[in-house]
Amino acid sequence: MEEIKGSTAVVTGGASGIGRAIALALSREGARVVIADLDEEGMAATLSAITSTGGEAAAIRTDVSDAQDVEALADKAWSVFGPVRILCNNAGVGMFGGLETMTLNDWRWIMGVNVWGVIHGLLAFVPRMIEEKKEGHIINTASISGLVPNAYLGAYTTTKYAVVGLSESLRKDMRAYRIGVSVLCPMGVETRIADAERSRPDSLKNPGGPAFTPSLDILGRLLAPEQVADRVISAIKKNELYILTHKESLEPLRRRFTQIEHAVPNE
Ligand SMILES: NC(=O)c1ccc[n+]([C@@H]2O[C@H](COP(=O)([O-])OP(=O)(O)OC[C@H]3O[C@@H](n4cnc5c(N)ncnc54)[C@H](O)[C@@H]3O)[C@@H](O)[C@H]2O)c1
C-alpha cells in the first residue's frame, strides 16, 4: 500500500526494540498506532514518544500467546481508531541451547509467543481486514533464523521457519484481497532480545533458569532498530515480501541454497 498516512496500524511487541521503532516510524508516516505488549512501562514510553511529537497512539496490554487477548486487542483497536489496515505481528522471544536441552516449558513458551502469537494475529485481524475491502498490509517478524539455522538456536529457528512459511503462503492467499504481506528477517539488531526471559511467565519457567549464552555464528553487525523500521516502511509502500536487513545475510543464504541445489537429482 502506497499511502500509510491516515491508516490505523497495530504493532505487537511495541514496548521495546524493533516493535517500538516500527511504531514510531509508522506514526511519523501519519498512521494511528495501537501498541500491544505485556510490558506496560515500555508501552507507556512508546506511547509518550509518539504523542509528544503530535502522533496518535493507544497502548493495549496483550499477551499474544493468548487467543482471547488478541481477539480483545482487535475489538479495542477497531473501536478506538477504526479499521486496522496495517498489522505487525512482531512480538517474539528468543532462547539459547541445543535442541537436546530444550524442555517442554521452553517449547510451550517459544511456540506460544513466536508461532501462536502470529496465528492469533491472523485469526483476530484478517477476516475483519478482508471485510473492510480496502488495501492493507501484514508484516510478520521472523529472523534470519527463519531462513538459515544457527547452532544453539534450534527452538527459535523452528519458530521462525514457521513464520517464514506462513508469511510466504499468506502472501499468495491475501493477493485477491489487496492485502500485502512482508516477512522481516533481520540478523543482529540492538534490542533487549538477549533478555527475553524477562517476559517468560512463571508457569513456563525452568527450575534451573536459563542455560547459557553462546556466541552465534550467524549474527552480523548489530543494527539500530530504527534502521530496520525504515526498511519495514519501504517494504509496506513497495509491497515487498522479504525484508532482509544485512548484506552479511547473503553468504549463509547462498550456502544453504547451494546445499539444497546439490541435493536435487538431475534426472
Ligand atoms: N534483536 C534481534 O537481533 C532480532 C533479530 C531477528 C529477529 N528479531 C525478532 O524481532 C522481534 C522483536 O524483538 P526485539 O529484538 O525487538 O526484542 P525486544 O525484547 O526488545 O522486544 C520484544 C517485545 O516483545 C514483547 N513480548 C514478549 N512476549 C510477549 C507476549 N507473550 N505478548 C506480547 N508481547 C510480548 C516484549 O515485552 C518486548 O517488548 C522478535 O520477533 C524477534 O524474534 C530480533
Annotation says 156 is catalytic: yes
191 lines ligand 1 (CB under 6 A): yes
Sheet strands (E) in 51-142: 57-61, 84-89, 136-141
* Cα distance between residue 83 and residue 70, in whole Å: 16
How much distance in Å is there from the Cα of 129 to the middle of ligand 1? 24
243 closest CA partner among 189, 182, 190? 182
Q: Check if 64 has its Cβ closer than 6 Å to any atom of ligand 1.
A: yes
17 CB within 6 A, ligand 1:
yes
pLDDT at site 176: 97
Q: Which of 11, 18, 197 to mutate to test the pocket of ligand 1 (most atoms within 8 A of CB)?
A: 18
Q: Residue-wise pLDDT tens for the chain (267 aa)?
A: 889 999 999 999 999 999 999 999 999 999 999 999 999 999 999 999 999 999 999 999 999 999 999 999 999 999 999 999 999 999 999 999 999 999 999 999 999 999 999 999 999 999 999 999 999 999 999 999 999 998 899 999 999 999 999 999 999 999 999 999 999 999 999 999 999 999 999 999 998 765 666 666 667 789 999 999 999 999 999 999 999 999 999 999 999 999 999 999 998
With the most atoms of ligand 1 within 8 angstroms of its CB, the residue from 37, 63, 69, 95 to mutate is 37
CB 49 within 8 A of CB 55: no
Q: Which three cell numbers stand for residue 135?
A: 488495501
Out of 189, 190, 221, 231, give the residue to mutate to test ligand 1, the one with the largest number of ligand atoms within 8 Å of its CB: 189
Ligand 1 atom index nearest CA of 142? 7
Identify the residue whose cell numbers are 543464504.
253
At residue 216, the pLDDT reads: 65
* Ligand 1 centroid to residue 145 C-alpha, Å: 14
Is 113 touching ligand 1 by the criterion CB < 6 Å? Answer: yes
Q: 215-247, pLDDT tens digit by residue? A: 666 677 899 999 999 999 999 999 999 999 999
Count of C-beta atoms within a 10 Å radius of residue 71: 15
> For residues 13 and 91, what is the distance between their CA atoms, to the nearest angstrom?
4
Q: Can you give the pLDDT at residue 108? A: 98
What does the pLDDT read at residue 210? 59
Q: How confident is the model at residue 207, as a pLDDT?
A: 83
Helices 116-132 & 154-174 angle (0-180, nearest 10): 10
Model's pTM, two decimal places? 0.97
Ligand 1 close to Cβ of residue 244 (< 6 A): no
Question: Mean pLDDT over all residues of the chain?
Answer: 95
Q: Is 106 in the pocket of ligand 1 (CB under 6 A)?
A: no
Is residue 126 lining ligand 1, measured as CB closer than 6 Å? Answer: no
Q: Let me know if 101 is exposed, middle or buried by CB neighbors in 10 A (0-12, 13-18, 19+).
A: middle
The CATH superfamily holding the domain 8-263 is NAD(P)-binding Rossmann-like Domain (3.40.50.720)
The helix-helix angle for 40-51 and 17-28 (nearest 10°) equals: 20
The H-assigned helical ranges of 52-90 are: 67-81
Of the residues 156, 161, 177, 242, only one is catalytic, namely 156
What CA–CA distance (Å, rounded) separates 86 from 45?
A: 21
